[in-house]
Structure 1
Amino acid sequence: MIVSEMNTQECRMHLATSRVGHLACVTNGMPYVVPISFVYENSHIYSFSLIGRKVWAMRGHPQVCLEVDEIHSPRSWWSVIAFGRYEELSETGPRQNERDHAWSLLQQARPDWWEPGSETPYSEDKVAIPPHLFFRINIEKITGRRAFA
Structure 2
Amino acid sequence: NTGDIGYLVDGVLTITGRKKDLIIIHGRNIWPQDLEHIAEAESEVRAGDAVAFSVPDHEGEEMCVLLVQCRETDSKRRHNLVRRLSALLRLEMSLDCYVELVAPHSLPKTSSGKLSRAKARLDFISSHEADNLNAITEEFRLRVASA
TM-score normalised by structure 2 residue count? 0.31
Greater share of residues in strand: 1
TM-score normalised by structure 1 residue count? 0.30
Structure with larger RCO (C-alpha < 8 A, sep 6+) = 1
Greater share of residues in helix: 2
